[in-house]
Structure 1
Amino acid sequence: MYSAMQIAKYTINKCTTEGHPISNLQLQKILYYIQRELLQSGIDGFDDEIQAWQFGPVVPEVYRQYCGFGAIPIRMKYDVEIGPEYTNIIDPIIEQKRILNPWDMVTDTHQAGKAWSLIYREGLGSYTVIPKDLIRTAG
C-alpha cells in the first residue's frame, strides 16, 4: 500500500513529464477517483483520510502540501516508484481526468447520492471523513 502523498507525487510527476500539469484542485479530485477505483478493484488504496470539503473530497495532508499553488499548475518532478498493480489502474484515471475542467470534476463528485454529498449534507458534514466503504459503494 502507498500513502496518498506517494500517489500524489506520482500523479504530479506523470502529469508534469507528459506535458499536462494539474492544479491542486485537480489533484484532489484525481486522488479521490483513484481511491474509489482502487477500492472497487479490491485494493485497499491508501490509508489517508478523505474529507468532505466545500469543493469536494480532499486529502488534507496533500492539500496542505500543495495549496500554495492555488489554481496554478503544479510543475514538479519526483522520483517515486509505484508498482504495476497500482499503475495499471491509476494511469488511465490520471490520463482521463487531467484533461477535464476541474469544476466539471467538482460537479461530478457533488452529485446527489454520491459519497461526498451523503457526508457533506449542505455543509453540516464539512471536514468530516468520507468512509472508505462509502467511497467504494456510493462513488
Structure 2
Amino acid sequence: MYGALDIAKYVITKCTKDKHPISNLQLQKILYYIQRELLQQGLAGFSDDMEAWQFGPVAPAVYRQYCGFGAMPIRMQYNVKIEQDYVKLIVPIIERKRQLNPWDMVSDTHSVGKAWDIIYRNGLGDHQVIPKELIKNKG
C-alpha cells in the first residue's frame, strides 16, 4: 500500500505534465476522493489517515509538504513508482475532480451527514482522524 505523500506526488506530477496544475487545497480534496472511491471498491487508496480540518479532510503529511504554496498551483514533477493497476484506478478520479472548483469540493466534503461533518462537529473534532470505515460508508 502507498503512503499519501507518494500518491500526492503522483497526482502533482500528472497534473503538472497535463498542464493542469492544482493547489494544495485541490490536492487534499483529490486525495480524499481517491481514498473514498477506492475504499468503496474494497481497496485502500493509501495508508495514511485523513483528519477533519476546517476546510475539509486533510492528509497532514501532505499538507505540511505543500502548505508553502498557499493557493498557488503546485508545478512539480517527481519520479514516483506506482503500479499500473493502481494508476488505472486513480487517473479517472484525478482527471474528473481537478476540473471542479476547489470550493465546490469543500462544500461537497462538508455536506451534512458525510464523514468530515460527523467528525468535525463545528470545530469540536478539529484535527481528529476520520476513520477509513466512515469515509467508505459516509463519503
TM-score, scaled relative to structure 2: 0.98
Q: List runs of 5+ in structure 1 lacking aligned partners.
A: none
Q: CA RMSD in A?
A: 0.7
Give the letter for the 1:86 counterpart: Y
Aligned residues: 139
Equivalence for 1:6: 6
Give the letter for the 1:49 counterpart: D
Give the letter for the 2:75 counterpart: R
Q: Distance in 2 between matches of 1:12 and 1:107?
A: 22
Equivalence for 1:131: 131
**Which runs of at least 4 in structure 1 moved beyond 6 Å after TM superposition?**
none
Asked if 1:51 is matched to 2:51, the reply is yes
Give the letter for the 1:129 counterpart: V
The equivalences for 1:85-104 within 5 A come to: 85-104=85-104
Q: Distance in 1 between matches of 2:36 and 2:84?
A: 18
Q: What whole-Å deviation, never above 9, does each CA across 1:35-75 have from its counterpart, x for those lacking one?
A: 01111111122111100000000000000000000000000
Residue identity (%): 69
Q: List runs of 5+ in structure 2 lacking aligned partners.
A: none
- Secondary structure at the aligned position of 2:52 is classed as strand
Shifted more, 29-38 versus 40-49: the winner is 40-49
